[in-house]
Amino acid sequence: MIYTCTFTPSIDYTTYLAEFEAGRLNRAEDVYYYPGGKGINVSRVLNRLDTDSVALGFAGGFTGEYLKQFLNNEGIQTEFTDTGENTRINVKIKAKNETELNGPSPEIQNHQLDSLLEKVTMMKEDDWFVLAGSLPSSIPADFYEKLTNACRKKGVRFVLDTSGPALGSLLSTNPFLIKPNSEELGDLFGTSITSKRQAAHYAKKLVDDGITYVIVSMGGEGAILVSKEGTWTAESPRGKAVNTVGAGDSMVAGFLASFQKNGNAEEAFRFGVACGSATAFQSDLCQKEDAQKLLGQVTTKFIRNRM
């Protein structure tokens, strides 16, 4: 089973308008209330790819209820721990540019952390634990150690998709897969990454340090996958970007759904890229057929590592 875990879920209040101007009253033409948060997006896309998952994490209040119901209505199993406070609402403004306003993480108490740890301890060999999205800074560092030790002991593969200091501090747990975008990878090394060659250089350092697969996503430019064997690069299919929120999460879901079936990293990477682009080309997250249609446009190049 794939377990996704979102510490900081959201309702994504997604609005479309021709023009947006800060500092004045703007009126939206269309609005959508999507469940959000990176792990939740991974679960929603997995579900559309006919792959079961359980969405774990922390939610509360009327927004937390909406989130759970929405996911359950889509047929996704949820096991959220109640935070006792409203889950945040993130504002996504789609005008000529995309503007985002994300709320802060909830305060999470020790007994709530323990309840998550208990769930991870119950996982079985060959399960997956996908920790995705922003992590509250108040959580003691040794908690993640306990969490990832529990995964290791049970033979559960740990997938990490977070950003900022949390990404840096969790790398030493040797995740199976991480998926930073180029900006997040650059932040990690105190530099700015503008090409696939640069991205491959830094991703390789992470693989040398013990991470099995590093995917660096680069929006409309495509992505790279680095492992001990070498580097694959992929161009994104061309199309009109409608809403890129969740494109990275769709890529993670596509990779996992495919890898879980046949263990072929290149194939999983190609399908991940197709899922990312299929999501970017529509308002909500992609459906399986959308990704399958784009798959033929995703070709990869491989460069073997020198021994």
Ligand X SMILES: Nc1ncnc2c1ncn2[C@@H]1O[C@H](COP(=O)(O)OP(=O)(O)OP(=O)(O)O)[C@@H](O)[C@H]1O
Binding footprint of ligand X on the chain (CB under 6 A): 181, 217-220, 222-223, 236, 239, 241, 244-249, 251, 273, 276-277, 280
Kindly report the number of other CB atoms within 10 A of residue 276's CB atom: 35
Q: How far is the CB of 20 from ligand X (least distance, A)?
A: 18
Decide if 211 contacts 175 (C-beta within 8 A): yes
Select the binding partner of residue 9 from ligand F1X, ligand X, none (C-beta < 5 to 8 A, by kind): none
- Whose CA is closest to 301, among 219, 214, 230? 230
Choosing from 12, 161, 187, 249, the catalytic residue is: 249
* CA torsion, ordered 302, 303, 304, 307, to nearest 10 deg: -170
DSSP 208: H
- Closer residue to ligand F1X, CB minimum distance, 101 or 122: 101
Beta-carbon-side half-sphere exposure of residue 262 (alpha carbons within 13 Å): 9
- Whose CA is closest to 258, among 297, 226, 295? 295
Decide if 78 contacts 71 (C-beta within 8 A): yes
Place of tokens 């009253």: 25
Q: ∠ at Cα 289 (89, 291), nearest 5°? A: 70
Decide if 140 contacts 176 (C-beta within 8 A): no
Select the binding partner of residue 102 from ligand F1X, ligand X, none (C-beta < 5 to 8 A, by kind): ligand F1X
The Cα–Cα gap between 218 and 73 comes to 33
Part in contact with ligand F1X (CB under 6 A); list of ranges 6-14, 44-52, 53-61, 234-242? 6-14
Select the binding partner of residue 36 from ligand X, ligand F1X, none (C-beta < 5 to 8 A, by kind): ligand F1X
Select the binding partner of residue 170 from ligand X, ligand F1X, none (C-beta < 5 to 8 A, by kind): none
Q: How far is the CB of 90 from ligand F1X (least distance, A)?
A: 4
The Cα–Cα gap between 77 and 71 comes to 7
Q: Hey, what are 172's tokens?
A: 């030493």
Does 133 contact ligand F1X by CB under 6 A? yes
Q: Hey, what are 147's tokens?
A: 């969490």
Does 10 contact ligand F1X by CB under 6 A? yes
- Closer residue to ligand X, CB minimum distance, 47 or 81: 47
- Whose CA is closest to 117, among 20, 214, 3, 211? 3
Choose, by CB under 6 A, the member of 102, 115, 174, 297 that binds ligand F1X.
Answer: 102
The Cα–Cα gap between 12 and 283 comes to 12
Q: Residue 249 catalytic?
A: yes
Residues 55-94 that bind ligand F1X (CB under 6 A): 90
Q: How far is the CB of 99 from ligand F1X (least distance, A)?
A: 12
Choose, by CB under 6 A, the member of 36, 39, 106, 222 that binds ligand F1X.
Answer: 36
Select the binding partner of residue 235 from ligand X, ligand F1X, none (C-beta < 5 to 8 A, by kind): none
Residues 235-274 that bind ligand F1X (CB under 6 A): 245-246, 248-249
- Whose CA is closest to 159, among 174, 143, 144? 174
- Closer residue to ligand F1X, CB minimum distance, 8 or 227: 8
Select the binding partner of residue 241 from ligand X, ligand F1X, none (C-beta < 5 to 8 A, by kind): ligand X
Does 279 contact ligand F1X by CB under 6 A? no
Decide if 171 contacts 145 (C-beta within 8 A): no
Q: How far is the CB of 251 from ligand X (least distance, A)?
A: 5
Contact set with ligand F1X (CB under 6 A)? 8, 10, 12, 36-38, 41, 90, 102, 133-134, 163, 245-246, 248-249
Query: Annotated active-site positions, please?
Result: 249
